[in-house]
Amino acid sequence: MPKNYKKYITFMHYKGDTLYINVSHPALRQEIFYKRKMIFDLINLMHKNNMCIKLNPKKIVTLHKYSPPPKPPKDIKFYIKPAGNFEIKAKNEKIIKIFEEIKENLKGKYD
């Protein structure tokens, strides 16, 4: 295959009588469809030179699945000191008591 094709072919798989070619660009999918005869001729040439004898596809299927480029990781901000005094809006006395304990622990650590 030409070098410009190799760059976009992600993988090839042979199953039964079908050669599956997965590409990363939709334009190359169409190119491979148009040049099927050239691919079959290359396979026949390999057979004449005793290479890839078991590879004998009757048809070629090209697949393309779009996958967007990965997003860069987000910067996670974390704080070492408390940013301020937080207001307790709970109505349950048990929960208010727990939050008060947390508040006191934070005050003691970073003052």
pLDDT confidence band for 109 (50 / 70 / 90) = low
Query: Structural domain of residue 33, as residue ranges?
Result: 3-64
CA-CA-CA-CA torsion for 34, 40, 42, 44, nearest 10 degrees? Answer: -160
The beta strands (E) that lie in 1-111 are given as 9-15, 18-23, 59-64
CA 6 to chain centre: 19
Average pLDDT over residues 78-103: 83
Chain segment 31-78, per-residue pLDDT in tens: 888 888 988 998 999 999 999 888 889 999 988 877 778 888 888 877
Domain check: are 56 and 101 in the same one?
A: no
Q: What is the pLDDT of residue 96?
A: 92
Environment class of residue 77 by beta-carbon count within 10 Å: exposed (0-12), middle (13-18) or buried (19+)? exposed
Q: What is the pLDDT of residue 1?
A: 64
Q: What is the pLDDT of residue 102?
A: 85
Domain check: are 56 and 91 in the same one?
A: no
Domain check: are 60 and 85 in the same one?
A: no
10 vs 68, higher pLDDT: 10
Domain check: are 11 and 58 in the same one?
A: yes
Q: How far apart are CA 86 and CA 84, in angstroms?
A: 6
Domain check: are 60 and 7 in the same one?
A: yes
Q: What is the pLDDT of residue 11?
A: 86
Report the DSSP beta bridge partners of residue 21. Answer: 12, 62
Question: Does position 100 have pLDDT exceeding 60, yes or no?
Answer: yes
